[in-house]
Amino acid sequence: MKTFKILSALIFLGILSSQAQDTRDIRVHDPVVAKEGDTYYLFNTGKGIGVYSSKDLKDWKPEPSVFTEKPAWTDSVVPNFKNHIWAPDIIKKDSTWYLYYSVSAFAKNTSAIGVATNKTLNPKDPDYKWTDQGIVIRSIPNRDMWNAIDPNVIYDKEGTPWMAFGSFWNGLKMVKLSEELTQIAEPQEWYTIASRKRSFGIPSEDPGDAALEAPFIFKKGNWYYQFLSWDLCCRAEKSTYKVVVGRSKQVTGPYVDKDGKSLNEGGGTLLLQGNKNWYGAGHNSVYNFDGKDYMFFHAYDANDKGAPKLGIKEVKWKNGWPSVEPMNEQIK
């Protein structure tokens, strides 16, 4: 009887409940994914950076957050920072994982991108420990007309690491990283990789109305594809987020859309958008896992109020351009 009561209590608390451990409808912002061994790890915006794991990209189990306490330097960028860390990115170099993340004051370019490292993504591994490496890049109002959030790191065909990033202001940027992946390379190389025309001037403390953010660069064949999000995120049923794409033979651009229009001049071929069932589909990442290309993103469920949910779609290719199935009643 005593054993039965203990078991019942554990189930009630969710410790042994499959519903609490595994779910298809996980709520995330800004998902990025890595695979280690036979397990996928999903990182997302949230307190200390949220983490989920899965064996099949369908059932997801919550894992410990990356940071139990905010990195020590964050208050110097955003005073009284609340440990709500935005838009991570994950990449592996040799035997080390590098997790990039954003610290920002909402709707301001008072922002910075930091990086933490780990030898493994498995919390049960004895070597599991996230070590913060500090600031990689920082944007400051009245100095910078770009916003240091939404990082994405890619190696070009010569093996050089680059970071794409940005949100609103005068566009999305790309900068060369050092071989250590923890700072900007010297001498510095900067590029604008996407921009939209603002309808008014460019005061440095105002993000403006040229809404674009979250670049993600994916190499396929001889092309680099830049996926990015247009319009407004994080407004539930008022979200107008959508994913567009352009491509370039060089990682630094110029990127052009299917019609040949430069992404630096407002170009972008529409790839995914919401509908009456799903609002604000965007902030995507793209990977090849086991021979298939997948796009991960978030979107608001019109029939289930609350935070957005994880979306996963297989990416198909035709004449050198990606496509995904339109949004329907199911997000996957």
Q: Which amino acid is at 282?
A: G
User: Residue 261 sits in which domain range?
Assistant: 2-323
Q: Is residue 30 part of a domain?
A: yes
Identified catalytic residue from 63, 150, 213, 301: 213
DSSP states of 117-171: EES-S-TTSTT---EEEEEEEEE-TTT-SS---S-EEEE-TTS-EEEEE-BSTT-
Check if 213 is active-site.
Answer: yes
Can you give the pLDDT at residue 227?
Answer: 98
Can you give the pLDDT at residue 5?
Answer: 40
Q: Is residue 124 part of a domain?
A: yes
Q: Is residue 162 part of a domain?
A: yes
Q: Which candidate, 104, 128, 102, places its Cα nearest to that of 115?
A: 102
Q: Is residue 329 part of a domain?
A: no
Q: Is residue 123 part of a domain?
A: yes
Q: Which candidate, 303, 306, 305, places its Cα nearest to that of 330?
A: 303
Can you give the pLDDT at residue 9?
Answer: 37
Q: How many domains does the chain have?
A: 1
Alpha carbon distance 97, 99 (integer Å): 6
Chain mean position to CA 32: 5
In three-state form (DSSP H/G/I as H, E/B as E, the rest C), the secondary structure along 12-33 is HHCCCCHHHHCECCCECCCCEE
CA 98, 123, 13 angle in degrees (round to 5)? 130
Check if 30 is active-site.
Answer: yes
Q: Is residue 328 part of a domain?
A: no
Q: Is residue 54 part of a domain?
A: yes
Q: Which candidate, 96, 104, 100, places its Cα nearest to that of 114?
A: 100
Can you give the pLDDT at residue 106?
Answer: 84
Q: Is residue 53 part of a domain?
A: yes
Identified catalytic residue from 30, 89, 231, 257: 30
CATH number for position 315: 2.115.10.20
pTM score: 0.90
Alpha carbon distance 202, 195 (integer Å): 13
Q: Could you tell me how many residues make up the chain?
A: 332
Please report, in tens digits, the pLDDT of each residue of the chain (332 residues total).
444 343 333 323 333 333 333 345 899 999 999 999 999 999 999 999 999 999 999 999 999 999 999 999 999 999 999 989 999 999 999 999 999 999 999 888 999 999 999 999 999 999 999 999 999 999 999 899 999 999 999 999 999 999 999 999 999 999 999 999 999 999 999 999 999 987 766 666 677 778 999 999 999 999 999 999 999 888 888 888 999 999 999 999 999 999 999 999 999 999 999 988 898 999 999 999 999 999 999 999 998 888 899 999 999 999 999 999 988 755 55
